[in-house]
Every structure is written in structure tokens, then in C-alpha cells.
């Protein structure tokens, strides 16, 4: 029983948002047990199911941000020109482009092949449908 942890603790352990951990548990993609309205996780089973190549630790620690739309992908290209940089990111079978300051790209040491998160924060999202 000492091995059981809450969804919040599992989220910290896995470096994921608690809602993502709960979603993965509902889908059966994380070893978990439902106890009433709460999810409980076995710390040892979570540790065993973790990726063999975990992300390197963040020297600043985990950052909590308000944006929920975080899309993980790999950098396809970084093109710096003047004070701006264009970063192309492959997310699944889609590509997203972000224009950021050159100094931010340099500070983050962005390079082709790096795993990054595209964080989308907007007050409005439009939907388009062909044809």
C-alpha cells in the first residue's frame, strides 16, 4: 500500500500534467486503479513503464504554465535572420512554424532534431473545413 501514489504525484514523477495522467489512465495506457473518483498509481509500476530514454532534467526544475495546448514535436529547421528566427517543428504528420526572437532561439540552444514543445495560447481558435 506504501507504493500507491495520487494522480498529482504520478504527474510530477512522469513530468506530465495531471489531466494528461488521468486521461492515460482512463485509456489503460498507464497502470492505475480507480478508487472512488480518484486514480491511484503504483510508483514501482510507473517507474517500470517509463521510457528507457527519459528527457534530461531541466536545470531550472519543472515549469508550470497556464497554457493547456502543448504539442510535442521535433525541430525540422531553425533559420535565424536579423533579430528573428523561424523554427519549423514536426508534430505527428503535421508541421507548425513559430517565429521567435533570435536571442530566444540561441538561449534555448535550439537545433535540428531537438524535442521541443509548441505552446499555443490564444483567446480564439478558428475551424476551417474544405469544400
Helix (H, G, I), strand (E, B) or coil at 62: coil
| Whole-number Å distance between alpha carbons of 26 and 50 | 17
What is the number of domains present in the chain?
Answer: 2
Q: Are residues 37 and 74 in the same domain?
A: no
Asked whether residue 73 is assigned to any structural domain, the reply reads yes
Asked whether residue 8 is assigned to any structural domain, the reply reads yes
Residues forming a β-bridge with 34 = 39
Asked whether residue 78 is assigned to any structural domain, the reply reads yes
pLDDT in tens, 8-49: 998 888 888 888 888 888 888 888 888 888 999 888 888 877
Asked whether residue 62 is assigned to any structural domain, the reply reads no
The CATH number of whichever domain residue 87 belongs to comes to 2.40.50.100
Asked whether residue 79 is assigned to any structural domain, the reply reads yes
Kindly report the number of other CB atoms within 10 A of residue 32's CB atom.
22
Percent with pLDDT over 90 in the chain: 33
Asked whether residue 87 is assigned to any structural domain, the reply reads yes
Asked whether residue 99 is assigned to any structural domain, the reply reads yes
Determine the structural domain holding residue 30 and report its residue range: 4-49
Task: Assess whether pLDDT exceeds 90 at residue 95.
Answer: yes
Q: Are residues 73 and 111 in the same domain?
A: yes
Q: Are residues 44 and 81 in the same domain?
A: no
Asked whether residue 126 is assigned to any structural domain, the reply reads no
Amino acid at each position: 500500500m506504501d507504493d500507491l501514489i495520487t494522480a498529482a504525484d504520478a504527474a510530477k514523477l512522469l513530468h506530465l500534467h495531471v489531466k494528461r495522467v488521468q486521461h492515460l489512465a482512463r485509456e489503460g495506457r498507464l497502470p492505475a486503479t480507480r478508487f472512488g473518483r480518484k486514480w491511484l498509481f503504483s510508483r514501482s509500476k510507473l517507474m517500470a513503464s517509463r521510457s528507457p530514454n527519459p528527457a534530461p532534467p531541466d536545470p531550472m526544475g519543472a515549469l508550470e504554465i497556464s497554457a493547456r495546448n502543448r504539442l510535442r514535436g521535433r525541430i525540422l529547421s531553425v533559420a535565424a535572420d536579423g533579430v528573428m528566427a523561424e523554427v519549423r517543428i514536426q508534430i505527428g504528420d503535421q508541421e507548425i512554424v513559430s517565429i521567435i526572437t533570435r536571442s530566444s532561439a540561441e538561449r534555448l540552444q535550439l537545433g535540428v532534431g531537438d524535442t521541443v514543445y509548441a505552446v499555443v495560447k490564444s483567446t480564439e481558435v478558428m475551424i476551417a473545413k474544405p469544400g
